[in-house]
Amino acid sequence: MTINIFSRGPSLYSTQRLVEAGVERGHQTTVVDHGLCSPSLGEHGPSLLLNGTPIPKPDVSIPRIGANITNRGAAIIRQLEVLKVPTTISANGLLLARDKMSCLQVLAGNGVQVPGTVLCFTLHEVRRAGKTMGSYPIVVKLLESTHGVGVALAHTPYQLERIAEGFLRLQDRVILQEFIAESDGRDIRAFVVGNEVVAAMERKAGPDEFRANMHRGATARQVELSAEDEALAIRAAKIVGVEVAGVDLIPSNRGHLIMEVNASPGLEGIETHTGIDIAGVIVEYAVNKAFKLDLNL
């Protein structure tokens, strides 16, 4: 089969591993920089341009869209959908996963337990929500944070206002969230591919840190999820519409809550800590999907 991996970084660990996995399985695997792609429509039908020239349609595509290029990435995936190229993520799934609030809204609307969360558009709303939420600290988040960069902890109303004020200069909205103190800096990353959790790890935030992101110095260890947690992670990924997903669960006094569904989860941390060939599972999933669609199964 021909596989296009859409990635901006051919030398990134995750991209290299996917290429390796594709080649090992005998597929013609190409990295395409979606930062140079544009969708095109016209008299001769739709096509996907790379540097202005149409590229041949692959049998299947695996998009790895970074958070700083979500809109272009979604437009490229939309074009793949138009061209009937199977992909491992839909354009709508990517857009939903990238908006933390919309993602939590849709999850909550489907009965999934999420942390107490308020979306605020003004400093006045932040002040009021801070009062209503009552107990400090309060977590303040940018809508499109990654690697924990847009996630901060406010211990006082003064800090809450200052952090929110800064975030509101970057985006027109800010998220306030109940701080799950009992998680003790831990969360669980469940790596979902299709209908399966293929690996899971518990991440523990480094010293003086509450964010359990690997990029923030968290440590990790492989864990076995209960059948219930596996079902929860798979369900969350399905609701958001992401077939290859890093679903983050946070342990709380009222059970495991879903914190977010990552649409382009990194492979390095999870492969290193679990020893599982996740790239291989993703490639096989993508190829299988293409086969099934081809046979109209």
Q: Which two tokens stand for residue 120?
A: 């605020």
Q: Which is nearer to ligand ADP, 31 or 197 (CB)?
A: 197
- Site track 114-143 with ligand ADP (rule: CB under 6 A), x = hit: -x-----------------------x-x--
Q: Does 179 bind ligand ADP (CB under 6 A)?
A: yes
Of 148, 194, 266, 269, which one interacts with ligand ADP (CB under 6 A)? 148
Beta carbon of residue 267, minimum distance to ligand ADP (angstroms, whole number): 16
Which residue stretch of 27-35, 55-63, 146-154, 220-228 sits at the interface with ligand ADP (rule: CB under 6 A)?
146-154
Closest CA to 203 of 293, 102, 192, 190: 190
Looking only at residues 20 through 79 of this chain, which bind ligand ADP when binding is defined by CB under 6 A? none
Q: By C-alpha distance, which of 195, 296, 236, 242 is closest to 90? A: 242
Does the protein bind ligand ADP through residue 248 (CB under 6 A)? Answer: yes
**Coil, helix or strand for 177?**
strand
Cα–Cα distance measured from residue 46 to residue 39, given in angstroms and rounded to the nearest whole number: 7
Instruction: Round to whole Å and give the CA distance between 145 and 99.
Output: 9
Given a contact cutoff of 8 angstroms between Cβ atoms, the answer to whether 34 and 24 are in contact is no
Q: And the tokens for 194?
A: 């299709």
Q: How far apart are CA 35 and CA 56, in angstroms?
A: 17
- The nearer residue to ligand ADP, 70 or 146, going by C-beta atoms, is 146
Binding-site member from 177, 242, 282, 285 for ligand ADP (CB under 6 A): 177
Taking CB under 6 A as the criterion, the residue among 259, 263, 267, 270 binding ligand ADP is 259
Beta carbon of residue 286, minimum distance to ligand ADP (angstroms, whole number): 24
With binding defined as CB under 6 A, does residue 6 bind ligand ADP? no
User: Which residue lies nearer to ligand ADP by CB, 212 or 239?
Assistant: 212
| Minimum CB distance to ligand ADP smaller for 31 or for 180 | 180
Phi-psi region of 255 (alpha: psi -120 to 50; beta: other; left: phi over 0): left
According to DSSP, the residues that pair with 178 across neighbouring strands are 138
Give residue 183's identity as a one-letter amino acid code: S
**Least CB distance to ligand ADP at residue 296 (A):** 38
Least separation in angstroms between residue 293's CB and ligand ADP is 31
Nearest alpha-carbon partner for 126 in 172, 170, 93, 75: 172
Separation CA 55–CA 140 (nearest Å): 43
**Of residues 4 and 145, the one with the C-beta less far from ligand ADP:** 145
Closest to 30 in 3D by CA, of 9, 63, 2, 54: 2
Q: Of 191 and 210, which has the nearer Cβ to ligand ADP?
A: 210
Binding mask 184-213 for ligand ADP (x = CB under 6 A): ---x-----------------x----xxxx
Q: Return d(Cα 87, Cα 19) in angstroms, integer.
A: 16
Contact between 183 and ligand ADP by CB under 6 A: the answer reads: yes
Backbone phi and psi for residue 19, each to the nearest 5 degrees, phi listed first: -60, -50
- Point out which residues bind ligand ADP (CB under 6 A): 115, 139, 141, 145-151, 177-180, 183, 187, 205, 210-213, 248, 259-260
